[in-house]
Structure formats: structure tokens, C-alpha cells
Structure 1
Amino acid sequence: MANTPQSKKRARQSEKRFAVNKARRSRIRTFIRKVEEAIASGDQAAAQEALKVAQPELMRGVTKGVFHKNTASRKMSRLAARVKAVGA
């Protein structure tokens, strides 16, 4: 357990940060799930629309430090390829 005032404060800040990051991660996963559900339903228009909404959310996660840039890019790339394949 933290002993010094500084370490106690850092522990409090860490808990707050964890909660905020957890909420952000959850929100991003929800947007990704909506894209995957649209892909599963076979509706390419809905999937493309969901992807358009999910992309800025993913990149916002990068700027906020929740995801690494390459991770978000990889997720977007794979989702886009799957959306494209729905129409084919």
C-alpha cells in the first residue's frame, strides 16, 4: 500500500485514469461491435455507415492513449476489408 502522500495521490490518480480509460475502451468496443453486427447481417450499407462512425472513435482512442496507433489502424483496416467483402 502507498505510504507517502505523493504515492497516495498517484494511487488515487491512477484509479481515476483507469476508470476513464475503461469507459473509453468500452465505448470503442461498442462501435466496433456495431460494425461487426452489420457485417454479420449482410447489410453492406449499414456496415459502411457503422464503420464511418467507428473510425473517428478509434482514432480518438489513440489520441487519448487508450490504444496504440498501429493497433487502431490494424483494426480499421481489417474491418474495412470485411465490410468490402460483404458486397462481393
Structure 2
Amino acid sequence: MANIKSAIKRVEVNQKKRANNGSQLSAMRTEIKRVEQLVEANDTDNAKAAYQSASKHIDKAAQKGIIHKNAANRQKARLAKKVNA
């Protein structure tokens, strides 16, 4: 464990950020799974609405550096392909 005050603070801040990033990543994955389930159920209207929400979560994660922007674009493209098929 760190002894210096600034190092102790860094540990605390990093733990908070890690927890927040994990929850945002989990929310993003949940939205993606919801879109995929609706696509499998052939529910196109709801799938398109869910895609909008998932796209927003993916963009937000990329913006905050949780995932890489190319990975975000790849995920959105794959989801769009499934929804449009």
C-alpha cells in the first residue's frame, strides 16, 4: 500500500474510475445483446430503436477511452449489418 498522500489519492481515484468504467462497459454490452436478441426475434422496429441506444452507448464508451474508437466503429457496423439484414 502507498504511504505518500498523493499516491494514496491516486489509488482511490483509480479505483473509482475503474468501477465507473466497468459499469459503463457492462451497460454497453447489455445494449448490444438487446439488439442482437431483437434481431433474432425478427422484431425490426424495436431492433432499430435499440440500435440507436446501443450506438449511443458505444460512442460514449469510445469517447471516454473505455474502448478504442476503431473497435467502436466496428461494433456499430456489425450491429447495423445485422439490423438491416
Superposed pair shares fold, TM > 0.5: yes
Q: 1:63 and 1:78 mapped to 2: Cα distance?
A: 19
TM-score w.r.t. length of structure 2: 0.91
- Cα distance between partner residues in 2 of 1:81 and 1:57: 18
CA deviation vs aligned residue, 1:56-80 (integer Å, no higher than 9, x gap)? 1110111112111111100000011
Corresponding residue for 2:13?
A: 13
Q: Could you report, residue by residue, the CA deviation over 1:18-68 in whole angstroms, capped at 9, with x for unpaired residues? A: 111111111111111110110111122221111012111110111112111
Distance 1:71 1:59 in 2: 10
Give unpaired runs (5+ residues) of structure 1.
Answer: none
Residue identity (%): 35
Instruction: State the TM-score, normalizing by the size of structure 1.
Output: 0.88
* Superposition RMSD in Å: 1.1
Which residue is equivalent to 1:80?
80
Aligned length: 85
Match of residue 36 from structure 2: 36
2:56 aligns with: 56
**Aligned residue identity for 1:35:** V
Tell me how far 1:3 sits from its aligned partner. Answer: 2.4
Unaligned runs of 5+ residues in structure 2 are: none
